[in-house]
Amino acid sequence: MKVRRALIPTLVAIVIPLAAAPARAASSRAATPRVTLQSPGAAPRSPLRLTLTSGSTTAATLEFSESVDQSLGGTPTSSVHLPPIRFVLHTKLGSVAGDGRAPIDYSYSDVSVVDDGSVPAAQRTQLESALAPITSLTGSGTLTARNQILDSKIAGTENLDPSVAQLTDQFSDQVGAVAVPFPREAVGLGAKWRGVSLLRVSGVNTKQTYEYTLRSRDGNVVVFDFTYTQTAPRQSVKLPGIPSNAKVTISRYRVSGRGSMTVDLSQPLPSMGTTNASGTQAFLLRSQGEHGTLTQKLTIGVDVSAAPE
């Protein structure tokens, strides 16, 4: 028998394909990616390192768009097409140590829903109101010269409305998400390296793999191309909108994409970036003797640009 349609939730994607940024509750830690050099690239080569300034501030505008098409047993059930969500991420550095590390604090402002004509004005206003608490979130951590965030902590997610907590979790710590981790070794144009993280994203244990390529370098300005894959093994999970007495098991989970990022090595945030990804998430649902497979086909877009501080 198939699971009743009453069990079908209206979900949003549970992945943001930028980099190692797990969803988290207050004071939890981000995972640091394991970075492995695949090819050093062409000569001349030199290490990629941030050159940070104590007390400096930066800001970047992040814009997300996504759509999810659901089906149950192959029959379409619902579609969620969110208009682009935009907000500004702010960072402030503490004192830079001799090894290039610096404490970093971050916060959020100007959350808005872009009018792309996909939803009525009343729905945009409702979504903006639901997302407004993200401006009360604050974060901290340590930024290394190799552009990795250590001991990242985020505060305030426990106060979010459960109906939007999953969505805000996806981008509540984008400092770690937009950081391209650098290899230890000296590299030149065409260099390739891999960053791998095991993360818990919105209650799902996942593996994220990034393949980076150094496309160009002009002084402090560096441009990277990357591909991205997120997978999850078979496991039991909890999904919003599913009754607590239902058992949910991941049967298939793969999201992949590609993008580019422009980084000024004197700044902790990229000046420009874009990512586009798509994938499939399939969940086996069992409840009161009934069962069925819920499948989500999703597409995601993420754009990063410099913002006034």
Q: What is the pLDDT of residues 220-256, one digit of tens each?
A: 999 999 998 999 999 998 876 677 788 999 999 999 9
Alpha helices in the chain (DSSP H): 121-131, 162-170, 174-177
- The confidence score (pLDDT) of residue 215 equals 98
Cα-based distances in Å from 207 to 2, 25, 202, 229, 282:
30, 19, 13, 8, 16
Region of 266 (left: φ > 0; alpha: ψ -120 to 50; beta: rest) is alpha
The pLDDT of residue 20 is above 80? no
Chain segment 167-191, per-residue pLDDT in tens: 555 554 445 556 799 999 999 999 9
By three-state DSSP, how is residue 59 classified? strand
| C-alpha span between 67 and 178 (Å, rounded) | 21
Chain segment 93-116, per-residue pLDDT in tens: 999 999 999 999 988 899 999 998
Residue scoring higher pLDDT (210 or 168): 210
Could you tell me which of 295, 285, 271, 287 has the C-alpha nearest to residue 59?
271
DSSP 179-194: --PPPSS-B-TT-EEE
| C-alpha span between 21 and 64 (Å, rounded) | 15
Chain segment 134-155, per-residue pLDDT in tens: 888 888 889 999 999 888 777 7
Least reliable range by pLDDT among 45-49, 64-68, 171-175, 282-286: 171-175
What are the structure tokens assigned to 256, written together?
């992949």
Q: What is the value of pTM for the model shown?
A: 0.85
